[in-house]
Amino acid sequence: MKRLAIYCGSASPDDPRYIQLAYDVGKGLAQKGIGVVYGGGRLGLMGATARGALEAGGEVVGVIPDALANSEVANHDCTELYTVGGMHERKQRFTDLSDGFITIPGGVGTMDELWEAMSWAQLGYHNNPVGLLNAFGFYDELIAFNRKMADVGFVRPVHQSILVHDTTLDGLLDRMTAYEPHTPIFQMKADDL
């Protein structure tokens, strides 16, 4: 994995652990020679991730919609900064530029990015690992909900391993490296669906 898209919040929670986590993720990836592709902002967890990677000498590629870039939240310190027309184009660019995805804590936009990466993997738009860093138990309920969707039958058995999760960055990267792509829906026959 040469580059990973990092999905995270643009907010700065009161609990300083979240900003530190984002900084450490950026720094940790840079130290492993893995480039960061992210939302292109300078605020919140996004900005902390970029700072961590840049201060460790890593590559940081930002992808920001023009509406946000024009509101002065763009991080012009990035190695490369792409301004795109909207969120759909932004997520496509994340997929095109990355070898996988890591979601760290965030809000609604972060969830949108995570679920779309999983959906696109399930369908066959990409075959990259989709990782979830469950730091501080932040995603315990989401992991349980994903398991419930599978138990009820809304996620096919062949697709139940798309979401890779761990509580540490090193553990998550190991799991993502070992990820074996599944059979996407686009390659399945109607009887398998």
User: For residue 147, what are the contacts with CB-CB under 8 A and spacing of at least 6?
Assistant: none
- Is the full-model pTM beyond 0.75? yes
Question: Tens place of pLDDT for every residue, the chain, 193 residues?
Answer: 999 999 999 999 999 999 999 999 999 999 999 999 999 999 999 999 999 999 999 999 999 999 888 777 899 999 999 999 999 999 999 999 999 999 999 999 999 999 999 999 999 999 999 999 999 999 999 999 999 999 999 999 899 999 999 999 999 999 999 999 888 877 877 777 6
* Listed residue (63, 50, 58, 54) closest to 22, CA to CA: 50
From the options 3.30.365.10, 3.30.300.30, 3.40.50.720, 3.40.50.450, give the CATH code of 3-192: 3.40.50.450
DSSP readout, 84-137? ESSHHHHHHHHHHH-S-EEE-S--HHHHHHHHHHHHHHHHTS----EEEE-GGG
pLDDT value, residue 181: 87
pLDDT value, residue 83: 96
pLDDT value, residue 69: 87
- Show me where the domains of the chain are located: 3-192
pLDDT value, residue 193: 64
Helix axes 108-123, 87-97, angle to 10 degrees: 60
Report d(CA 132, CA 145) in Å as an integer.
14
